[in-house]
Amino acid sequence: MHLAEEEQNPLVPPIPELVIGLIAFGIVFFFLWKKLLPNINKVLDERREAIEGGIEQADAAKLEAQQTLEQYKEKLAEARHEAARMRSEAEQRGAELIAEMRAEGQRQREDIIAAGHAQIEADRKQATQVLRQDVGTLATELAGKLVGESLEDHARQSRTIDRFLDGLEDGASRAEAAR
Question: Of the candidates 130, 154, 126, 125, which has an alpha carbon nearest to the alpha carbon of residue 140?
Answer: 154
Q: Which stretch binds another protein (CB under 8 A): 29-37, 61-69, 121-129, 145-153?
A: 29-37
In this complex, which beta carbon is closest to another protein, that of residue 10 or of residue 148?
10
Name residues contacting another protein, limited to 30-59 (CB under 8 A): 31-33, 35-37, 39-40, 42-44, 46-47, 50
Question: Of the candidates 20, 23, 45, which has an alpha carbon nearest to the alpha carbon of residue 37?
Answer: 45
Determine contact, residues 151/143, Cβ cutoff 8 Å.
yes
Q: Least separation, in Å, of the C-beta of 48 and another protein?
A: 10
In this complex, which beta carbon is closest to another protein, that of residue 41 or of residue 67?
41
**CA separation, residue 165 to residues 28, 103, 162 (Å):** 154, 46, 5
Q: Least separation, in Å, of the C-beta of 2 and another protein?
A: 9
Q: Which stretch binds another protein (CB under 8 A): 26-34, 53-61, 69-77, 124-132?
A: 26-34
Q: Least separation, in Å, of the C-beta of 5 and another protein?
A: 9
Return the percent helix, strand and coil in the chain, to nearest 5: 90, 0, 10
By CB under 8 A, residue 95 contacts another protein: no
Q: Least separation, in Å, of the C-beta of 64 and another protein?
A: 26
Q: Least separation, in Å, of the C-beta of 59 and another protein?
A: 21
- In the chain the first and final C-alpha atoms are separated, in Å, by 163
What is the rounded CA–CA span in Å between residue 175 and residue 115?
Answer: 25
Determine contact, residues 132/165, Cβ cutoff 8 Å.
yes
Residues 24, 55, 76, 120: which binds another protein (CB under 8 A)? 24
Which residues lie below 8 Å from residue 78, measured CB to CB, with a gap of 6+? none
The footprint of another protein (CB under 8 A) covers 1, 3-4, 6-8, 10-25, 27-29, 31-33, 35-37, 39-40, 42-44, 46-47, 50
